[in-house]
């Protein structure tokens, strides 16, 4: 049950999956509800590395990346509207239009037992974010306990004990 604290900036679609591992963890996030109007939206506030760009696709009138740019523009228009009027209607436009690719920063308190479960279940996941997270796990002190490598293949069992 070695505790681990980490701050992660990841898209909302990844955080929804990470919430699967809430047992034995604590999470503190920047509140989207309170911070959403604190600054103008920028393209780098969103995960977009896999979106097709202009000309990369041969169908439809709008590329996925240009759809994101249009969404960011609409979000910034509603942000300005909210800042001027403090209208709850404008605030709702922001909250309900916000894509799941929006990156949110959270600080987590995890432990090695939870990390071992995540590593086993997510190391081959198709989301790049899980691949990156599992690579980070490998850098932790005593990572071999988490991954079940070396030291005569010691693993953390369901009770949190190290088994040989």
Same domain, 77 and 61: yes
In a domain, 44, yes or no: no
What are the pLDDT digits (tens) for 31-81? 677 788 999 999 999 999 999 886 655 566 788 899 999 999 999 999 999
Is residue 19 over pLDDT 50? yes
> Which residues, at least 6 apart from 27, have a Cβ–Cβ distance to it below 8 Å?
106, 107, 108, 109
- Which of 67-71, 86-90, 160-164 has the least mean pLDDT? 160-164
Same domain, 110 and 158: yes
Same domain, 90 and 126: no
Assess contact for 101 and 48: CB atoms under 8 A: yes
Same domain, 111 and 150: yes
In a domain, 42, yes or no: no
Same domain, 120 and 136: yes
Same domain, 73 and 26: no
Same domain, 142 and 108: yes
Same domain, 23 and 60: no
Is residue 27 over pLDDT 80? no
Cα separation, 164 vs 152, whole angstroms: 6
Same domain, 73 and 115: no
Q: Between these two residues, 78 and 23, which has the higher pLDDT value?
A: 78
Q: Which domain holds residue 65?
A: 51-97
Picking from 64, 82, 97, the residue at the C-terminal end of a domain is 97
Number of domains comprising the chain: 2
pLDDT at 34: 73
44-49 long-range contacts (CB < 8 A, ≥24 apart) are 45/72, 45/102, 45/103, 46/11, 46/72, 46/99, 46/101, 46/102, 46/103, 47/10, 47/11, 47/13, 47/101, 47/103, 47/129, 48/101, 49/128
Give the relative orientation of helices 64-85 and 88-97 as an angle to the nearest 10 degrees.
160
In a domain, 57, yes or no: yes
């Amino acid at each position: 049950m070695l505790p681990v604290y980490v701050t992660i900036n990841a898209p909302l679609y990844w955080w929804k999956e990470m919430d699967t591992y809430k047992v034995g963890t604590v999470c503190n996030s920047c509140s989207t509800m309170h911070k959403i109007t604190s600054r103008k939206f920028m393209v780098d506030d969103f995960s977009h590395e896999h979106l097709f760009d202009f000309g990369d696709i041969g169908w439809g009138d709008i590329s996925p990346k240009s759809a994101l740019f249009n969404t960011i523009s609409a979000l910034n228009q509603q942000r300005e509207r909210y800042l001027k009027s403090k209208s709850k209607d404008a605030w709702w436009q922001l909250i309900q239009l916000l894509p799941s690719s929006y990156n949110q920063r959270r600080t987590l308190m995890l432990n090695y037992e939870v990390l071992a479960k995540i590593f086993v279940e997510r190391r081959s996941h198709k989301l790049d974010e899980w691949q990156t997270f599992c690579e980070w796990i490998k850098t932790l002190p005593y990572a071999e306990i988490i991954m079940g490598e070396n030291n005569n293949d010691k693993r953390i069992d369901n009770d949190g004990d190290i088994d040989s």
